[in-house]
Amino acid sequence: MVIHANLPDFILFLYVHMSRADDSYDPTEMAAIKDKMNGLFSAGTDLEKKLYVTIREYNSFDKNKLTELLSDSIRHFSNDAAVDAHLFNDLKEIIQADGKVDQSEVNALETLKRMIDHQSKA
């Protein structure tokens, strides 16, 4: 299951997923996401709207299908160089932005890393 038309939209979904791993939307994590969005999307993109739409998309998504979505999307976008260590650094910065890292955030990041590592070996 792939629901994103392009890699930047999928990466933004990942950012939102990581920020929600501890079941909250922390303002400092949202600020970190907004900062990262500047490098993802072209000038003229309404970043506030883009983030709001992605948060709504994430909130309405059936979390029972999240593993399938992430795995299939990683496979779909795996040829893109942006799915690499740089992405993990961004995700780490987002979960660290609020000054604390919950175990749920660590688990979510490790799960994503395993999926990406598995795909790169496939």
Q: Work out the angle at residue 88's Cα, subtended by the Cα atoms of residues 83 and 92, and round it to the nearest 5 degrees.
A: 155
Distance CA 26, CA 34 (A): 12
pLDDT band (50, 70, 90) for residue 24: confident
Tokens of 58: 């994430």
Q: What is the b/e burial string over 37-60, where b = at least 16 CB atoms within 10 angstroms of the residue's CB?
A: beebbeeeeebeebbeebbeebee
Question: What does the pLDDT read at residue 86?
Answer: 77
- In CATH, the number for domain 7-121 is 1.10.3680
3 pLDDT higher than 70: yes
- From first CA to last CA, the distance across the chain in angstroms is 18
Average pLDDT of the residues in 63-91? 82
